[in-house]
Structure 1
Amino acid sequence: MIFGRWKLAAMAVAAVAMTGCAGVNMHKGAVIDDQLVATIQPGVDNKASVEKLLGRPSFTGQFSDTDWYYVARDTKQVAFRNPSVLRQTALLVRFDQGGNVASIHRSGKELVASVDPSNRRTPTLGRERSFFDEIFGNIGSVGAGMAPGQ
């Protein structure tokens, strides 16, 4: 009877612990509806009609406002691990000088970059100095051999 209670308690603790490992799906950025994007036609639509369909862009071009970018990302995170990208969409709507849609480009997850830092230390050229060289290396060398005002 005591063994049965311990077994039941162990199963309850295991069930609670496993719920912490459940994945959390998240969506960040614009909501890009494929059917609405398919209705945008170059030469027919303009900035006002695109804004009505898709909303304000995530950001515009850096040097001109003729490029509108809509960016969306779906991720999954398990417990305390880094989130992994499930789906990413970047939609570029390019306008001509008159404000009409010139072209639409779509890209996906292939543009996600993985950056690997170099051992958390920046490689430099030159002499390696120890801790004590860094602290005591300049004693007596500041202003040595120089006349005042030089």
Structure 2
Amino acid sequence: MRPNIKVSAPRLLAAAGALALAAALSGCLGYDGDFDRGYQVDQQTLDQVQVGKTDKPQALALMGTPSTTSTVGGDAWYYIGQKMSRALAFMPAKMTDQTVLAIYFDKGGKVARIANYGMKDGEVFDFVSRTTPTGGAEPDFLRNMMTGLFRFS
């Protein structure tokens, strides 16, 4: 004999709604809202790029394709990376940190200088030399890149 079970429509709708809610929320379990975007500096690889010794083809083989380049006021490659955070999976991401690794080349195509710019108290900051750049063309370029390049509204 089979038991005679009758389910009312409101109970069926409530159970279906609870099941749908549980399925929707299960995607949020274990969600880590922090992620990286762009170039993330690998210190071991960067240590292989030596000032005065490494040329452009070697730097390209070690570091990969730069995010952008500049030929104004000298030849430089820029590798841009960001740390992003998102409270919930469906919320917009917000940038929490940004770094720009700059490799400057001399006229002969050798690495002249390496700088790792980041944000420190809202100002462009070189983490390698631990100085804040002074007036000139480069800080303005980097400041504009840091503040406006990845601004999404």
- Whether these two folds match at TM > 0.5 is yes
RMSD value over aligned CA atoms? 3.4
Q: 1:80 aligns with which of 63, 87, 90?
A: 90
Quote the offset at 1:32 in angstroms. Answer: 3.0
Residue deviations 1:36-83 (CA, integer Å, cap 9, x gap):
012211011111110010112111015266110011223232233221
Counterpart residue identity of residue 25, structure 2: M
Residue 106 of structure 1 corresponds to which residue in structure 2?
A: 116
How many residue pairs were aligned? 114
Deviation at 1:34, TM superposition (A): 1.7
Matched, 1:55 2:53: no
Unaligned 5+ segments in structure 1 are 115-150
Q: Which of the numbers 23, 35, 41 marks the counterpart of 1:32? A: 41
Matched, 1:95 2:105: yes
Identity %: 29
- Partner residue of 1:19 out of 26, 39, 56: 26
TM-score by length of structure 2 reads 0.56
Determine helix, strand or coil for the equivalent of 1:108. strand
Runs of 4+ in structure 1 over 4 Å off: 5-14, 23-26, 111-114
**Partner secondary structure for residue 52 of structure 1:** helix
Relative to the length of structure 1, the TM-score reads 0.57
List alignment gaps of at least 5 residues for structure 2.
Answer: 1-6, 125-145, 149-153
